[in-house]
Structure 1
Amino acid sequence: MRSNVLARTLVGITAVAGLAAGSLATAGTSFAAPVSQPAVSVQAATLASYENFGLTTAEAKNVQDFLADYWGYTDSIDGQLGTNSWKAFQRCLKTYWGYTGDIDGDPGTNTIKALQRLLKADYGYTGDIDGIAGSGTRAAFKRFAA
């Protein structure tokens, strides 16, 4: 009888230890899960830090050269149209192509509409001035950058 009590006690201790270990493992997993989410956000932010609208690096460098020559772009000529590239482009678009937004470096809808007006005037863009950088806008932007 005494061995039964000892056996049940050992089984009970083993079960409690197993549950505790499982709880700790689960707690560790649930604690670790949020840590991986910011890494994804950082990657998305890094990917979104520039917008070439389909231009190759060489074509984007041509645009940056143009912006450096005429619109006050002073950052590196690296072929990635980032915030400073778009700020310089917005200054151009504000002067000649009806851009009315802030000079904020965000190539959003208003920037794209002004870009489409430029591309329609001289680079074969035939689509609507809709602020969407679709295939027609991208093709005309490539002609601009050539």
Structure 2
Amino acid sequence: MRALTKALVSVTTAVGIAAGGLATAGTAMAAPAQVKEQAVSAEAVAPLAVVNLGLSEAQAKDVQRALKARWRYTGVIDGQLGTNSWKAMQRFLEEHYGYTDSIDGIVGPNTVKALQRYLKRFYGYTGPIDGVAGSGTKAAFKRAADVCPGGCLLT
């Protein structure tokens, strides 16, 4: 009888430990609740492209001031020539320098060609009108920004 009691107590203890261990494991090891992710558009995830073409933030701010004053730029004057800055620049280039693509804020070859025509006329750009924003284009763009601190260019 004593052996039977000892065996019964051992089994009961083992079951209790196992049950307690399983109860603890059940809460600690449970799979986390599924997290519902919000669907976002690619536009919200991808940062807007900033293309300063060699300008410092101060020079880019001057360009943005000119765009705000004359070409419907509505963004912040932050020295970052992003999509909205380039849309305003494309409006200027469309009216005066032969830009014929869509007003999309993308600094592609046609935007650069029109910018090169502008820079050739007023700011000493001597390179080809090739749509490549090389060192000559960037140097002339910097001259344009330096000539008119405060935003007098793009008129």
Deviations 1:74-119 (A, max 9, x none): 1000000000000000000000000000000001100000000000
| Corresponding position of 2:36 | none
2:48/2:83 contact within 8 Å kept: no
Q: Shift in Å at residue 48 of structure 1?
A: 6.6
| Corresponding position of 1:112 | 112
TM-score normalised to the size of structure 2? 0.64
TM-score normalised to the size of structure 1? 0.68
2:46 and 2:55 map into 1 onto residues whose CA distance is 18
2:70 and 2:133 map into 1 onto residues whose CA distance is 24
Aligned residues: 103
1:46 and 1:137 map into 2 onto residues whose CA distance is 27
Unaligned stretches of 5+ residues in structure 2: 1-41, 147-155
The aligned runs of 1:3-14 (5 Å cut-off) are: none
Higher helix share: 1
| Corresponding position of 1:30 | none
CA RMSD of aligned residues (A): 1.6
Runs of 4+ in 1 over 3 A off after TM superposition: 45-48
The aligned runs of 1:1-146 (5 Å cut-off) are: 49-146=49-146
**Which structure has the bigger radius of gyration?**
2
| Corresponding position of 2:16 | none
Q: Shift in Å at residue 55 of structure 1?
A: 0.3
Unaligned stretches of 5+ residues in structure 1: 1-41
2:143 and 2:111 map into 1 onto residues whose CA distance is 18
